[in-house]
Every structure is written in structure tokens, then in C-alpha cells.
Structure 1
Amino acid sequence: MSQAIDGPRLPAATGKPKALVVFLHGYGADGNDLIAIGREWRKLMPDAAFVAPHASERCMASPQGRQWFPLTFRDPTERAHGVVAAAPGLDAFLDAELARNGLTPDRLALVGFSQGTMMALHVGLRRKVPPAAILGYSGMLVSPEALAEATGKPPILLVHGDRDEVIPVEALFAATDGLGAAGIPVEWHLSAGLGHGIDGEGLRQGAAFLGSMLKPRRTIHRAASQA
């Protein structure tokens, strides 16, 4: 059953946001799973507002959780169909959330985990105005052959555990190869000994990456020429 996309929010620590960080949770979880990261990152990015929406569909495999799209693992095309079907609702939520915070679309950063990374990459690369950054944990790039649809080339950081038992580490290298072939800048970090999750080093690298990409833009004042 679908419902309107909404979830927990954290206002900018400084009061007035200059950027928006949106967390996209994994299959069977919900927005509460990732918003705690925002509480830590507020200390490093005090000008950023954070939101972690619950996906619109209830997850049949985990009735207390949500899903961006169903996964039966029987249909090899279900991920491709799933991200396409879920994209319009998420895209509309992002636009509304930017408007809520009085921000332009280029001040957006997407952070995904697992299925949320699939959504972050699919939607982020097709936004009318590219986001400032995309950060993906333990996920994959769905339909790399469709990257001709990409409307921009935002900077991307992908983080993966080398012992991931849910989405094998090969998905990280397939994603970097696909993005690189499309001319989209991508960095990656491999967490040694980590399964399907996020470790402290991954969080540190993710925060540093977003902090760099979301630095307030400098305004250059030019002196008026004198006659």
C-alpha cells in the first residue's frame, strides 16, 4: 500500500538552511533508520537541513518497514522498472522540500543506502538541475546502459563493504565503470571487512565529501570602474 512520502526532519543548526541533505533508506527500513546520521553530521554541516523520507510503499517482506519498489529477486528487470516507477514521487518530494527550505535545486545532496542508493543515482542523475552531490552506501547503479538519459554530471561518492553479502562488492565496480564511461565524475571507498552496512570510516568520508560539495558559494564583488 502506498502513502504520501514524508519522514523525520532536522532543521539547520544555524537556523537558516543553505543546503538540504536527503537520506534515502534501504529496502524494509524507513526514514528513522538514517536520520540519526544527520544528527551527527549537523555538527559538521551546521548550515544544512536534513530529511529522511519514508518510502511510499509498505514492504511485504518487512511489514513495519517501507520500500521504494518491490523486490522479488525473480524478475531480472524489476530494479529497472522499480526505479522508473518510484522516481516521479521522489522527484516531487525533493522539489517540495527544497521549496519548504527556500533553497534552489543545486543546493541539494542525496544520500542513499542499498535500495536508497539505487534511487539516489537514478533520480539524481535525471533532475532538471543536478544536485550538488550524490553519496551512495552499499548500493548499485541500475541500468547503466540508460545513462544517456542523464541531465547532468554531479559529483558522486560510492562506499561499499568488501564483504557485503546482500549487494556484492562487484556492484561498486560495475557502477564506477558505468558512470566513468558516461563521463560522470565518481569517487569510491572500499570498507575492509564490512558487510551490508555503513561503518565509521564510511561516515567520515561521506561527511567530508558532502561538506566539501555543499560549501556556501562565494560571491565575487567587482569594483566599479572609474572614468
Structure 2
Amino acid sequence: MSENVHMQAPLQTSGPAPEVAGVVAILIHGRTQSPADMFAIAQRLGTPDLACVAVEAAGNSWYPDKFMAPLASNQPFLDFALERIELLVVQLEECGIARSQIVLIGFSQGACLACEYLYRHPARWGGLIAYTGGLIGPEGTSWLTPGILWGTPVFLGNSDEDVWVPLSRTVETVRVFERMGADVQLAVYPGMGHLVNDEEISLGRALVQSLLNRIS
């Protein structure tokens, strides 16, 4: 299979045009979800000056297996998903939006994909907001950290008993990003379900607003 199945759905947007806003959020939905779910999260952030662009997975799933399954079991779909995000980033750069003006926001499978993309494309990004996510790969994975994130602000939130994303993997991800030079904040919520709570929204809003203030 050579055709990237995730390229088929058109991009969906909300808010001002990227070149007007100066700051763009790339929204990455979870398994069985759609861009509408991420636009709902973006609306909760309450940052109307933020341009939002949502990518959509083929069949509402970025890759077929669990995110901690052997990498081969999620190919070629994982590579397709990462390629989809990179193509969008390049398109934004062609509109004058630097990577330091782009925030990746994902939930669940989308948060895992956002983490993996950031790890594989180290730079000074505008930020990463990963609601219930972590780096992709089987238990026991060792992540090399040759790239530098140059102080990129990163927020990761998770429950201590999430059924899909173990907190241990989120903590591992924090350590990897810290070694890469990111400014990482972790929030853990005892007994929380598989959702994004109001405090996580508030912390995400603070990250985005700080970037908006810096760019304006």
C-alpha cells in the first residue's frame, strides 16, 4: 500500500486565517472521533484569536492497533499519519507560519500521535498539548534523544488509571521531552475517566495564550 489514506479527507478550519492569527493549532482527534470533537475542545479553550486546523483520519483511526503494540503492527498507517501532519506543517510554513508559531493539540490516540510527531521532528515549536497521550511504541522502548526542542512548552495530562493510556507511559514521555530540552508540565488526575477536564483546559489555555501574547 503506497497511497496515504489519511490524505483523502479535506482539512477543516475554525477561527481566523493562519496568516492573520499568527498562531495556529493543529488539532488531532482520537480513535473513533472526528475533527468535530477537537473543535469542541478548542472552543472550550476560549482563545478566539487562535487559528485552528484539524486533520481527519481515514475511518476515524490513525492506526489500527494499540499505541503500545509493536510498531510494525501499526504500519504503514502510523507513517501515513505522521506524514499527514508534516505535510500540513509545511503548508503552514509556506504561508509564513513558523514551527515556533504552531501548537499541536491532541486527545487520546491523537495525543499519542502528536507526541510521536514532536519527538520525530525536534525544533522550537509553539507548543504541545497532549490530553491523555504518550510516545508510541511497545513496553521497554528506549527513546534516543539526539534532537533538541529548545524550550518548547509541553503540557501532558492523564488519569492515574486510564484504561487506554497508562500513566507510566505519559511519565516516560515527560522524561524524554525533558531530555530534549522542552519545558514540560505534567498533571495527573486520580480516578479521572477518559476525558479532558476543566483544569486541563485551563492549563492548555494558559499555554496557548502565552504564545499568542508573545507573537502579537
1:133 to 127, 133, 139: 127
Query: How high is the sequence identity, in percent, across the aligned residues?
Result: 22
Partners of 2:156 and 2:186 in 1: how far apart?
Answer: 5
Partner amino acid, structure 2, of 1:177: R
Residue 29 of structure 1 and its aligned partner are, at CA, apart by 1.2
User: In the alignment, what sits opposite 1:224?
Assistant: none
Of 25-34 and 166-175, more deviation after overlay is shown by: 166-175
Structure with the larger RCO, 1 or 2 (CA within 8 Å, 6+ apart)? 2
User: In the alignment, what sits opposite 1:216?
Assistant: 214
Residue 68 of structure 1 and its aligned partner are, at CA, apart by 1.5
Residue 214 of structure 1 and its aligned partner are, at CA, apart by 3.5
Q: Is 1:123 aligned to 2:121, yes or no?
A: no
Aligned CA-pair RMSD = 3.0
Contact 1:24 1:111 in 2 (8 A): yes
Partner amino acid, structure 2, of 1:48: L
The TM-score normalised by the length of structure 2 is 0.80
1:8 to 5, 9, 12: 12
1:50 to 52, 65, 76: 52
The TM-score normalised by the length of structure 1 is 0.77
Residue 95 of structure 1 and its aligned partner are, at CA, apart by 2.0
Which structure 2 residue ranges, 5 or more long, are not aligned?
Answer: none
Residue 166 of structure 1 and its aligned partner are, at CA, apart by 1.6
User: In the alignment, what sits opposite 1:178?
Assistant: 176
Of 80-89 and 149-158, more deviation after overlay is shown by: 80-89
Which structure 1 residue ranges, 5 or more long, are not aligned?
Answer: 59-65, 219-227
Q: When the two structures are aligned, how many residues end up with a matched partner?
A: 207
Contact 2:63 2:74 in 1 (8 A): no
The DSSP-based 3-state class of the residue aligned with 2:163 is coil
Partners of 1:185 and 1:26 in 2: how far apart?
Answer: 25
Q: What does the per-residue CA deviation read over 1:20-43, in whole Å, with 9 as the maximum and x for residues that have no partner?
A: 0111111121111111122233x4
Q: How do 1:156-171 and structure 2 match up within 5 A? A: 156-171=154-169
Partners of 1:160 and 1:128 in 2: how far apart?
Answer: 23
Partners of 2:10 and 2:128 in 1: how far apart?
Answer: 20
